[in-house]
Structure 1
């Protein structure tokens, strides 16, 4: 199993970075994972800004040569892991900019003329590891589970990815946030995951 980790936080002393390290630690002890790549969007200076004009059209985004490396990473991976904070009830703008560009028509899906497209990233699985300041129940009860609906239904299912696992950790800025317990939960998952 080949695993691509997409890390989205500007601070390498953050809790998100600690979750990245625990993910890598678990992967390092898992014989089912043959190879891993980490894409750190901030360290990469990934440009999340969409530009469309006379020379750069949206319908050609699936073949943009500036994004070739990132498309190859997604095609290479069997499992895609996203590590990010939840800000204002959704992933950071940097990650959303990556999604806008990478999950493009002609690469991640193909319109068939019906209600739903053909997902072109079938066979992969996704894990989302996210942290937030508010309590864990906040997105479920106050925001109608919008984060998970956005990621699972509006994105991953649309491009053919059906197997999606969430680690959505709340109260992470609190001294009572049980950080070590949550970090170890992620470590144990990646140490044992088989597909």
Structure 2
């Protein structure tokens, strides 16, 4: 039987891709952090907009022999290397994650990872075995997104594809729809309780390993 890990050594990297600090996306990050820290695990928040992260993949960042990451990417890779759980928090704009999140995938998650390695099903050595949690939001309702095929496309591109391509251990995605200005305080509180419940579950999974489905809340997907 696998022994539980010391919670004090478990680290979560929370990557936020929303420009407004007063947004619901940032409220998700704060709630997740508070709950995970209550489980005595460590959390580091990477606010991409706050540090002016450049989403553009430059020519010298393409995977070639002798690849050397730029300083900002090297710092992000160090964060990932020390993390057990990677958490992405972003809004859906025009049916897609914001450019800053796609740029994080291109420049950081895909750093020095070639198409040849992808085709050969070789896992990304930096990401292999790590767990991924995604919190996304949209102003549109989920049925509206589903009717237009955007929901399935997002799931395949950012959940299934990233998990399989990079060799991640698993992915858990929670989506909040109808997130618009002037949300009712009770509505916000209910959603943030879902975030806290998810944080507790993910913290438990990292500490104890895979748990039977009956011990976990039904996932969104």
Give TM-score, length-normalised by structure 2. Answer: 0.77
Does the 8 Å contact 2:28/2:195 carry over to 1?
A: yes
What value does the CA root-mean-square deviation take over the aligned residues?
A: 2.4
Q: Kindly indicate whether residue 43 of structure 2 is the aligned counterpart of residue 39 of structure 1.
A: no
Q: Kindly indicate whether residue 192 of structure 2 is the aligned counterpart of residue 150 of structure 1.
A: no
Which structure carries more strand by proportion?
A: 1
Q: Kindly indicate whether residue 79 of structure 2 is the aligned counterpart of residue 73 of structure 1.
A: yes
Q: Kindly indicate whether residue 170 of structure 2 is the aligned counterpart of residue 140 of structure 1.
A: no
1:145-192 CA-partner distances (Å, limit 9, x unpaired): 111111122222200013100111111117479322111110122134
Which structure carries more helix by proportion?
A: 2
Does the 8 Å contact 1:118/1:159 carry over to 2?
A: yes
Q: Kindly indicate whether residue 109 of structure 2 is the aligned counterpart of residue 100 of structure 1.
A: no
The CA deviation at 1:115 is: 4.9
Corresponding residue of 2:5: none
1:70-108 CA-partner distances (Å, limit 9, x unpaired): 11111111000111111111111011111111123645x
Corresponding residue of 2:58: 51
Question: Which structure 2 segments of 5+ residues have no match?
Answer: 1-9, 207-221
Higher relative contact order, structure no. (Cα contacts within 8 Å, ≥ 6 residues apart): 1
